[in-house]
Amino acid sequence: MQTILFIAAAILYAVCALLPSRQGAAISGVTAAAWVLHGAGLWPDVVSNGALRVGFAFMLSAALWISVAAYWIENRNFALDGMRRMVMPCAAVAAVLPPLFPGNLMPVPAQSPAFGWHVAVAVMAYSTLTIAAFHAVLMALQEARLHTRDSRPGWLGGAIDQLPALLTMEKLLFRMIWIGFVLLSLTVLSGVVFSEQLFGKALRWDHKNVFALLSWILFAALLVGRSWRGWRGKTALRFTLAGFATLVLAYVGSRFVFEVVLHRGFL
């Protein structure tokens, strides 16, 4: 049943990506239907018989699920149809990953009840910064389109032309980065607490923690540079994408290597 829900959600996400921009009501309805089906597929694995499902596919799928909700909400306030052209195909792929790569079930009864909140905040941090990364790519495309003489709309160009002004896009970007940074900070701090409970060390210097801290430093540097030096434009976009890429390597990338390449379980 879960597999059917995931496949149905992926099909609707793909349909949503292909719908013309003028069909706003249809886009909103299809997005909502796909999101509900996707969530229904994820829910049984959030906590299953006292265990939490972990794995790169589940994390990535959950992050895109929340990202779709963030896009849907933002698009009601701003014309962000160009983001739909990027988010929906990624969400379609992410929706079918859990059945293909189910990951592992990690027992949670021995953990603190707050461990589930740690995982939830981590997924929200990934999701918020994923949307910020999509947003940064849109801004880069928008800026490039302003400097090109090619006025043909194309599949993505027409949606980019309908985006808000770059200054408005930049304000939205930093709003999302601030939210994502706060959530990432809570994730790192709560991770230190649970690391001490699980492994007897406040912080294990493994690949996951190193990349997570590096991502936190990059986003912190961006926000400090923004406040003190007025960083914007290409500098802000580079820091955003670098911080996001590092965050992906912290968990999703490393879990992909462990599960798919090395065929190893939860670490």
Supply the pLDDT for residue 49. Answer: 60
Supply the pLDDT for residue 171. Answer: 87
Contact 187, 125 (CB under 8 A): yes
Contact 41, 98 (CB under 8 A): yes
Supply the pLDDT for residue 208. Answer: 74
Contact 12, 72 (CB under 8 A): no
* Both tokens assigned to 141: 């495309």
Domain ranges within the chain, ordered by starting residue: 2-261
- Within 8 A by CB and 6+ apart from 76, the residues are none
Helix (H) or strand (E) holding 43: none
Average pLDDT per consecutive 10 residues, the chain (267 residues; last block may be shorter): 91 92 86 94 71 75 89 79 85 91 66 67 86 88 74 63 80 91 88 60 66 91 90 86 87 62 53
Supply the pLDDT for residue 204. Answer: 62
Supply the pLDDT for residue 76. Answer: 78
Supply the pLDDT for residue 224. Answer: 94
| Cα dist from 121 to 40, 133, 150, 187, whole Å | 20, 18, 43, 6
Helix, strand, coil shares of the chain, percent, nearest 5, are 75, 5, 20
Instruction: Please report the sign of the dihedral spanned by the C-alpha atoms of residue 219, residue 220, residue 223, residue 224.
Output: negative
- Within 8 A by CB and 6+ apart from 118, the residues are 187, 190, 191, 194
